[in-house]
Amino acid sequence: MNIITAAQTKDADRHTIETEPIASVDLMERAANAFVTAFIPLYPDSNTSILICCGTGNNGGDGLAIARLLQAHGYDAITVWVVRFANSERDDFTANFARLHNTPIRITEFFPGDKLPDIDQTVIIDALLGSGLNKPLTGDWLRLVKHINGVPGRKVAVDVPTGLRADGIIPDTEYALYAHDVISFQRPKLSFFFPESAKAIERFHVVDIGLDESYIERLPTDFRLITRDDIQRIYRNRLPFSHKGTYGHALLIAGNTRTMGAALLCCGASVYSGAGLTSACIPPAGLAALNTCHPEVMYCPEEDLAEIWGTFDAVGIGPGLGQREKLLTACLGYSAKPMVIDADAITLLAREPSLMEKLPTPCILTPHMKEFDRLFGTHSSWWDRLRTAREQAEARHIVLVLKNRYTFIVMPDGSVYINPTGNPAMASGGMGDVLTGMLTSFLAQGYPPQEAAILACYLHGTAGDQLAANGMAVVPAGKLIRMIPLAIGNRGGFS
Ligand SMILES: NC(=O)C1=CN([C@@H]2O[C@H](COP(=O)(O)OP(=O)(O)OC[C@H]3O[C@@H](n4cnc5c(N)ncnc54)[C@H](OP(=O)(O)O)[C@@H]3O)[C@@H](O)[C@H]2O)[C@@H](O)CC1
Ligand SMILES: Nc1ncnc2c1ncn2[C@@H]1O[C@H](COP(=O)(O)OP(=O)(O)O)[C@@H](O)[C@H]1O
Ligand SMILES: [K+]
């Protein structure tokens, strides 16, 4: 799914108005209806007291239409504020302002410098500014947003929280409204996927407002959101006459005395992700544990590595490797084969940059933020970090899996795939080791690196999401492994 900029959204808006055709005020009505349909299940009590704060642009116009529609749905404790801090108003705002006068809803207008009354409503809907934001909040706007942030009510933003940029860098210095819920139109905005947006968003929902989808999908963009459709398209069913040889042999080079669990986790993840065979190159001290936890996995002694290297279809190296990191240097000297490089092996790359010149094709690197900065230098924002990732992936023809709440998969052509699955219950040690096992497994099964990365990241998150939906507040990595076959079986979606 294409993620588009605010300017492209405006363009899709214009295109839909011209070609559907639909009057712009009717499109606003459709957007407001879509908002209300998503809002009601979140806040079903129609006695909820609601304050709707509206600017005088289209975001404010949406707010006025939402007020009228909520009232028609039986919400009868609605108050509307209209803030006239700008000199102008949009036509669709004007039309909806007139329509609101035919309802019993009370409207209070505020002008620059006005004292702001206390807010005691349970829910505050933010329709002040949306994707039209073009400068930081200052003056009366800033004062108002601080006032709203200071009250305990739940905040629900229309399209984008006021003050948050829809795309581009999110400077620390810019203040924004903090929304518990954002109900966004047609597409999530690119900024929602950056950790810096946490100051403005607790969670977001996306509603279809009927813009021309085929037009949107044709718009040029470097950013795509992975969807379940992608998984269904990419995943290849296991065939009736297939056998273990059909699904490749994955080798995991991992583990050390204190971190043997990392090796067990990534080996288990490889087995459960469907590799025909999985071998582990671990210190002998881990053998009893390996055979107990994962009897499916074979042992590859370190000293045999060079000799049997040719039998593997893909190699993952790094989790819990510790001092055995030098094995990476040896591996990069053998014949090239699909590789996943993670954790301690990434740290070694950072210490010995000449090794970066020897990366095989295809190769997937899976750094979290600290590993990424160790490798490519410190970055002051995620936007900068992503720019570096794109430059590096292109220059080195590698796939970079930049792990986070929303993992960015950066492809060798510089395009970025954003993974939406996963949740904070997964924020615990070993989760990345599982991902490395999954990636190596899919590479061994013959998926190209781009597809392996999309499958592994999405299904890793789906497995965690399903466990969280089953009520697990914490999802340990070992538990997640067992859910992988079901995540695959359901092709990335549980109903
Ligand atoms: N296709 C869609 O998705 C649809 C979108 N729709 C809705 O339209 C919304 C976008 O509306 P919008 O373009 O009128 O801009 P909006 O956000 O209301 O701001 C108003 C004006 O404020 C100004 N301004 C900017 N920054 C400022 C600042 N820091 N401090 C003070 N002023 C500032 C700036 O004016 P300027 O400075 O350029 O004069 C800006 O134009 C979108 O979020 C969605 O809710 C739906 O109705 C239907 C379909
Ligand atoms: N809050 C979260 N939401 C979604 N995914 C998460 C969250 N926290 C962690 N993860 C996922 O868990 C993995 C953690 O990887 P990493 O930091 O390398 O863990 P470890 O080194 O302990 O194995 C990543 O794939 C990341 O996307
Ligand atoms: K808003």
Per-residue b or e along 424-438, where b marks 16 or more CB atoms closer than 10 Å to that residue's CB: ebbeeebbbbbbbbb
Q: What is the pLDDT of residues 191-206, one digit of tens each?
A: 999 999 999 999 999 9
Indicate whether 6 pLDDT > 70.
yes
ipTM exceeding cut-off 0.90 for this assembly: yes
Whether the Cβ atoms of residue 54 and residue 63 lie closer than 8 Å to each other: yes
CA distance 270 to 279: 9
DSSP 261: H
Whole-number pLDDT of residue 34? 98
Q: What is the pLDDT of residues 260-309, one digit of tens each?
A: 999 999 999 999 999 999 999 999 999 999 999 999 999 999 999 999 99
C-alpha dihedral, 228 to 233 to 234 to 235, nearest 10°: 80
When pLDDT is cut at 50, 70 and 90, the band that residue 483 belongs to is very high
Which residues have CB under 8 Å from 295's CB, separation 6+?
Answer: none
* C-beta 428 within 6 A of ligand 2: no
Indicate whether 495 pLDDT > 70.
no
* C-beta 435 within 6 A of ligand 2: yes
Please give the average per-residue pLDDT across 340-359, as a whole number.
96
Please give the average per-residue pLDDT across 133-141, as a whole number.
97
Domains for the chain: give ranges and CATH numbers: 6-220 (3.40.50.10260), 228-489 (3.40.1190.20)
**Percent of the chain predicted with pLDDT > 90:** 97
Which tokens is 47 given?
Answer: 């006695």
Which tokens is 257 given?
Answer: 């005395």
Whether the Cβ atoms of residue 153 and residue 51 lie closer than 8 Å to each other: yes
**Which ligand 2 atom lies nearest to the CA of residue 429?**
22
When pLDDT is cut at 50, 70 and 90, the band that residue 493 belongs to is confident
**Residue 381 Cα, ligand 3 centroid: separation in angstroms?**
24
Three-class SS state of 134: coil
**Which ligand 1 atom lies nearest to the CA of residue 92?**
47
CA distance 284 to 257: 10
Residue numbers in the known binding site are 58-62, 126, 130-136, 159, 162, 262, 320, 368, 403-407, 432-433
Please give the average per-residue pLDDT across 306-326, as a whole number.
94
Spatial CA neighbour of 165 closest among 121, 139, 130, 120: 130
Whole-number pLDDT of residue 306? 95
Whether the Cβ atoms of residue 204 and residue 38 lie closer than 8 Å to each other: no
Ligand nearest to the Cα of 66, by number = 1
**Which ligand 1 atom lies nearest to the CA of residue 166?**
43
Please give the mean pLDDT across all residues of the chain. Answer: 97
When pLDDT is cut at 50, 70 and 90, the band that residue 323 belongs to is confident
Whether the Cβ atoms of residue 145 and residue 137 lie closer than 8 Å to each other: yes
